[in-house]
Amino acid sequence: MSASDEALHLTATDLRMAVFRLARRLRCARAIDAMSDAQLAVLATLRMHGRRTISALAERERVTAPSMTSMINGLEEQGYVVRIPDDEDRRRVHVDITETGTAIVAETIQRRDDLLADMLAELDFTDDELATLREASALIRKVVDR
């Protein structure tokens, strides 16, 4: 392993551990305790990208279509999503988020942002350190969005 390969591997290890621990702490903050991370992810996808078919949601979340159908059934029963028939093909159904579902996502995001802001405030970072964290977050998004 070359020096740059070793540096990449060490960076990957450090980053994975830090991101995993942070994500685990943030997942505890949600608007509804009984909602799973998978359900929240589906609602967030619908809020961000608009209505989707069940198969498109299943592909995005990397689950089977029957698993997604089951999840959508539960979210629909709770009033967080609605099914909308396709105008051109009545066999196809789209899923869209309701106002209640949108509110759940917004509140969860707010709670998580508040929690992370509190965590950062406790450490009394300098403006330069906060700028470094923002730059790091942009780099992490670049890795994730590729």
* Tokens linked to 146: 């590729």
Count of Cβ atoms closer than 10 Å to residue 61 Cβ: 15
Domain ranges, residue 37:
3-144
pLDDT at site 136:
95
3-state secondary structure the chain: CCHHHHHHHHHHHHHHHHHHHHHHHHHCCCCCCCCCHHHHHHHHHHHHHCCEEHHHHHHHHCCCHHHHHHHHHHHHHCCCEEEEECCCCCCCEEEEECHHHHHHHHHHHHHHHHHHHHHHHHCCCCHHHHHHHHHHHHHHHHHHCC
Low-confidence ranges of the chain (pLDDT < 50): none
Number of domains in the chain: 1
CATH number at residue 49: 1.10.10.10
How far does CA 129 lie from the centroid of its chain? 25
Task: Give residue 50's region: left, alpha or beta (phi > 0; psi -120 to 50).
Answer: left
Q: Is 68 in contact with 58 (CB distance < 8 Å)? A: yes
pLDDT at site 79:
96
What pTM value is reported for the model? 0.82
pLDDT at site 1:
66
